[in-house]
Structures are given as structure tokens and as C-alpha cells.
Amino acid sequence: MSRARRERRRERATLRALTSSALALLGAAKAGADTAMERVETSYSFSTYSEDELASSKTLPGAERERYSIQTHQASIAGPITEWLDLSIDVTHEKMSGASPWYNTQDAAGTPIQILSGATIDDTRNDIALHANYYTERGRLGFGGGYSTENDYTAMSFGTDGTLNFNEKNTQLSGGFGLSFDQIDPVDSDLYTLRPDHEDKQSYTGFLGFSQVLNRRSVLDGSFTYNWNKGYLSDPYKEVFRIGGIHYADDRPNSRHQFAFLLRYNRHIEETESTIHLSYQYYRDTWDVSSHMAELSWYQNFGDSFQLIPHGRYYSQTGAGFYVPYLPTTQGKLADQTSDYRLSPYGSISFGLKAEYVLHSSWLRDVEWRLNAAVERYHSSGDLCLSTVSVEAPGLVSFTVFSLGVRASF
Amino acid sequence: MTVTRRALQVLAIASFLSLTGCATIGDAWDSMWHEVTLPEFPAFDEYTETPKSYVEIALEHDFLVRVKPWERAVLARPDMSFDPDALQSARRSHTFFSKEGSFVGGSTGGGGCGCN
């Protein structure tokens, strides 16, 4: 490229920077998201999650094949309390029903097949979370707490997190610490002797993050998260079956250290009015599960009021060291054992599309409405795993999620 | 599935190398990204006139790039936020936490059973 052409480009860039500076200043305060919110934002979303029926080849002839479905209502309100303080409240109400994987056995060819829980599970989950942020010249300090309850489960969590800005707010360090105290009281523990009456677990999470503005259109973010789960980490509703007719409880180690390294990159392309979000996560834990996750979202704007967001996600994990599809007749109970498909080796792929429409109501001044509708399809299989899976877990799930949402800020 | 796996690996490596400016995928890709990355700072080497990678640019700018407050119009866009729809990301994180063997990092999110 000639020097003259480069100079012209530079001049154009300077001119554009000057002309857009006035507009940019309006948005400048929000760019680092390190001042208290200026507007009240409320949102509501309804979604349905439904799992595909289990394939007839993956279970016994005539056995239950219908799986889980969940209807979720979510609502949130967030707004400024003072110039330096804002508060948000999120509530979730979910209704779950259907059957879930119970244990595996084998068919005539010796291939594992899935037996689903006979009785239909009906459960509701209510969750409330509060978060307050205090802002200073240098960054943000946040405190939060949450309470989640189901028929058989309660969880209480607390956390604190914060950010520190450096380098004229182009570099941001973040960190946080959280704990959760959970209790489980499995239903029908008097009918199913392998189920415990009451158990509890605790988890302690810490994360450190680094965010860097790369240029006027792109930003990179990396974080490292550590989580320690301790206590009863088994699934009381799952069993390990020994061929021949003996059922054992799902029995996992009572400690699990988890590590996740997440990288995210956002870039805006002015020429096509689109923004791409790329993310990658590497995860590993002390149960020998390691996973790779890569995701791409494409935010395509059509004018100021319409946005289409297609996205794709790929995930692959190795199985836990103590995962067994079932126990052969010659094998006794293992010290640690599970037949949970979620701890088996597999890969998954999901695709989704979201549409968002922005409008300003004429009958209420200065209210911005955002309406959105989204669909996501998730499919998992042993074939999608990065490493070769010799025996695929029969309970691997595929599901579809539809959602509708509305947001208003004033 | 060996072919799919290989293709995914190649795609991942190629994407990473192109983003860091260490390699290019082809003319179409080059022309698109040249247009996109050009004008904000001297993105071309003064002597060889080859495109500089983000790493080189970052090193020249005292290791860390400085975008001034009045240059942040694009960065302030809602779709440039890492979490443009908090309800959707909370729901998706909870789903993946419940249905997969790992979790999504980067926060101190609460628990929940996820048994079924």
C-alpha cells in the first residue's frame, strides 16, 4: 500500500473520530459499565424446555420414553438507588415434569439401554437473587445473595465480586468469591431404600478475570474460575445396575475441585452493522472430566430497531473416571460409581436463532421496549465427542427451547 | 467422526491464527478483515507494509492499547456487552450446568440441584 494512500486513510480516520466524538461522549460513561445504572430496567421472559423422547432402541420395548419438560418464568428489575449504588432483583419460577434417567441395563446384544424413572416427576423451583453494586472512581464492588427452593432441594448462596479499572479504563481486572449451602431431601426415600433421607453439600467459588479493550471495535476478556464442591455430590435419583438384578446407589466422591478457563472476544463490524461474540472455555476437574466449549454468536442489525442473532455452540467432554454404563455380573460394587449420562464421554452441538425488536412507545414518554423471541436446538451424541467413545451412554439428551421476552427501560 | 474432528481442529487453529494475525485463510478473508481493521492506528508495518498483528500493535502501544473515552461509541453498544441479555444467559447457564458435566465460568453464580 502506498504511503499517500495510508495518509489519506489516517486523515479519514481522524475526521471520523472528530465528528463522532460528540455522540461518543454520550455513550462513554457506559462503555466500561463502571458507573451506577442511569435507568430502571425491567424484563420478563417465558420459556419452554422440552427433551426429545428416548429412542425406542435405547430402552426396553414398551418402557417409558417420554422425558423432561420445563416451563420457566423469569423476571428482573434493576435500577439506580443513588448515583453510586444500584440494585437488581431476579426471580425465577419453574415447573418441571416428566421422567428422567434412572439406571442402565443391557439389551440382547450387550449394548447399554436406559431405564427412565417410572413415575412422572412433578416439581417446581423458585429462585430469588439480589445483587447490589457500589461504584467508585476506580471500579465497582458488588454483593449478592440468592435463595433457591424445590420440593426436595434448597440452596442459599452469597457472593461478592468487583472490578478495578486501569489504563484509562482500557484494562479491567475482576474477581469474586461465592459460597453456596445446599440441602437435599429426596422424595419417596421411604419407598426407595437406596435414597438417603437428608444430605447437604457446600460449594466455594472464586474467579479472577482480565478484560482488555483491543481497539475501538473489539474487546477481549479472560477469566479463571475455581470451584470446590464438598459433601453429598451424588444424584439420589440415579442408580447403578449390576447385570443379574442388583441395584446400587449412585455413589460419587464427596469432594470435587473444578477449574475453568474462559476466553471471550467481541468485535463490531461497522460495514455490515454486525457484532460477533466468540468464546472458548477449557474445563477440567478432579473427577477426570475435561471439556472444551466453543461458541459463536452473530448479532446482525437491520436498521436501529431490528436484530437477528444466530448462534452455534460446540461442546465435548471426557467421562468421569468412575463412570460405568452398568456393572457386569462379575463386578462387585465400586468405591465410586455412577451411570449418569452427564458424566459419560460425549459431545454436543446446539444452534439457535433470536430476533429482537426495539420500539419506543409514544403513549409513555422515554420508555424503550425490547421484544424478543428465540429458539435453540441442542443435540448430544457420543459421535460428537473429540475423543473416540467406545460405548455411548444411552441417556444422552437432545432438547429444544423456545422463549419469548420483553424488556423495558425508563 | 475422525474427519469431523479433524475439520473442527483445523478450523479452530485457523481461526485463532487469523485473529492474532499470524496466518490468513485466503484472499476473501484477507480483504474483509483488512477493511475492518485498518484505520484506527498504524496497522501496517512502516517498512515492509505488511499487516501487523494485534500482538505487535499491543506491544507498540506500551503493551496495552488505549482507546480514549470519546472513541468508545462502538464499545458502548448494547451488543458489544459480554452479557447483552442477562435473563437468557442465566437460563442457558443453568441448563448447561444441569445437563452437562461441567459449568460455565466467569462468575460466582448460585447453585441449584440439577438432579433431573
Query: Do residues A74 and A49 lie in contact, with contact meaning Cβ atoms separated by under 8 Å?
Result: no
What is the pLDDT, as a whole number, of residue A343?
95
Q: What is the pLDDT along chain B (116 residues), one digit of tens a residue?
A: 567 788 888 888 877 776 665 555 556 555 655 555 544 555 666 666 677 766 666 656 555 567 888 888 899 999 999 989 999 999 999 999 999 998 877 666 555 555 65
Asked if A261's CB is within 8 angstroms of B105's CB, the reply is yes
DSSP label at A272? G
The residue extents of the domains of chain B are 2-99
Within 10 angstroms of residue A409's Cβ, the number of other Cβ atoms is 17
**Which tens digits make up the pLDDT trace of A85-107?**
999 999 999 999 998 899 999 98
In this model, does residue A30 exceed pLDDT 50?
A: no
The pLDDT of A371-393, averaged and rounded, is: 95
Cell 425490547 appears where? A370
Which of A132 and B103 is assigned the larger pLDDT? A132
The residue extents of the domains of chain A are 1-31, 39-409
Per-residue pLDDT band for A365 (boundaries 50, 70, 90) equals low
Distance CA B54, CA A47 (A): 40
What is the pLDDT, as a whole number, of residue B60?
60
Asked if B79's CB is within 8 angstroms of A1's CB, the reply is no
Short-list A349, A363, A362, A359, CA closest to A314? A349
What is the pLDDT, as a whole number, of residue A35?
75
- Cβ-proximal residues to A394 (8 Å cutoff; 6+ apart), any chain: A54, A58, A59, A104, A111, A112, A113, A114, A325, A341
Query: Do residues A162 and A174 lie in contact, with contact meaning Cβ atoms separated by under 8 Å?
Result: yes
Window B:4-33, CB contacts with A under 8 Å: 4-5, 8, 12, 15, 19
Which of A256 and B61 is assigned the larger pLDDT? A256
What is the pLDDT, as a whole number, of residue A291?
96
Please give the grid coordinates belonging to residue A72.
420457566
A19-23, A163-167, A338-342: segment of lowest average pLDDT:
A19-23
What is the pLDDT, as a whole number, of residue B87?
92
A30-39, A260-269, A290-299: segment of lowest average pLDDT:
A30-39
Instruction: Considering only the beta carbons, identify the residue of A237, A299, A342 that sits closest to B100.
Output: A342
Q: Does domain A39-409 have CATH number 2.40.160?
A: yes
Residue-averaged pLDDT of chain A:
88
Distance CA A35, CA B77 (A): 16
Instruction: Considering only the beta carbons, identify the residue of B1, B44, B73 that sits closest to A23.
Output: B73
Within 10 angstroms of residue B3's Cβ, the number of other Cβ atoms is 7
What is the pLDDT, as a whole number, of residue A28?
38
| 3 state DSSP class of A275 | strand
What is the pLDDT, as a whole number, of residue A76?
96
Which of A81 and B37 is assigned the larger pLDDT? A81
What is the pLDDT, as a whole number, of residue A361?
72
Distance CA A124, CA A149 (A): 8
Cell 426495539 appears where? A358
In A194-303, at which residue ranges do the beta strands (DSSP E only) sit?
199-215, 218-231, 239-242, 246-249, 255-269, 274-285, 290-302
Within 10 angstroms of residue A173's Cβ, the number of other Cβ atoms is 14
In this model, does residue A17 exceed pLDDT 50?
A: no
Residue A300, chain B, CB below 8 Å: the answer is no
Asked if A401's CB is within 8 angstroms of B36's CB, the reply is no
Residue of B nearest to A264 (CA): B82
Distance CA B97, CA A224 (A): 17
Residue B3, chain A, CB below 8 Å: the answer is no
Residue A333, chain B, CB below 8 Å: the answer is no
In this model, does residue A137 exceed pLDDT 60?
A: yes
Query: Do residues A318 and A288 lie in contact, with contact meaning Cβ atoms separated by under 8 Å?
Result: yes
- Per CB-CB distance under 8 Å, the chain A contacts of B116 are 68, 96, 100, 121, 123, 237
- Per CB-CB distance under 8 Å, the chain A contacts of B42 are 6, 10
What is the pLDDT, as a whole number, of residue A27?
38
Instruction: Considering only the beta carbons, identify the residue of A28, A74, A212 that sits closest to B64.
Output: A212
Distance CA A349, CA A385 (A): 10
Q: For residue A91, give the H/E element and its range.
A: strand A85-98
What is the pLDDT, as a whole number, of residue A7?
55
A36-50, A226-240, A309-323, B47-61: segment of lowest average pLDDT:
B47-61
Residue of A nearest to B74 (CA): A217
**Which tens digits make up the pLDDT trace of A179-237?**
999 999 988 888 888 899 999 999 999 999 999 998 889 999 999 999 999 999 999 99
In this prediction the pTM is 0.81
What is the pLDDT, as a whole number, of residue A63?
84
- Per CB-CB distance under 8 Å, the chain A contacts of B70 are 17, 21, 24-25, 28
In this model, does residue A20 exceed pLDDT 70?
A: no
The pLDDT of A146-171, averaged and rounded, is: 91
The pLDDT of A13-37, averaged and rounded, is: 46
The pLDDT of A292-319, averaged and rounded, is: 95
Q: For residue A31, give the H/E element and its range.
A: helix A3-31
The type of residue at A194 is: L
Distance CA B30, CA B23 (A): 10
What is the pLDDT, as a whole number, of residue A107?
87
In this model, does residue A241 exceed pLDDT 80?
A: yes
What is the pLDDT, as a whole number, of residue B43?
64
Residue A137, chain B, CB below 8 Å: the answer is no
Instruction: Considering only the beta carbons, identify the residue of B90, B95, B103 that sits closest to A227.
Output: B103
Short-list A340, A356, A281, A286, CA closest to A316? A281
Distance CA A100, CA A116 (A): 5
Within 10 angstroms of residue B45's Cβ, the number of other Cβ atoms is 11
Asked if B74's CB is within 8 angstroms of A49's CB, the reply is no
Instruction: Considering only the beta carbons, identify the residue of B36, B80, B102 that sits closest to A291.
Output: B102
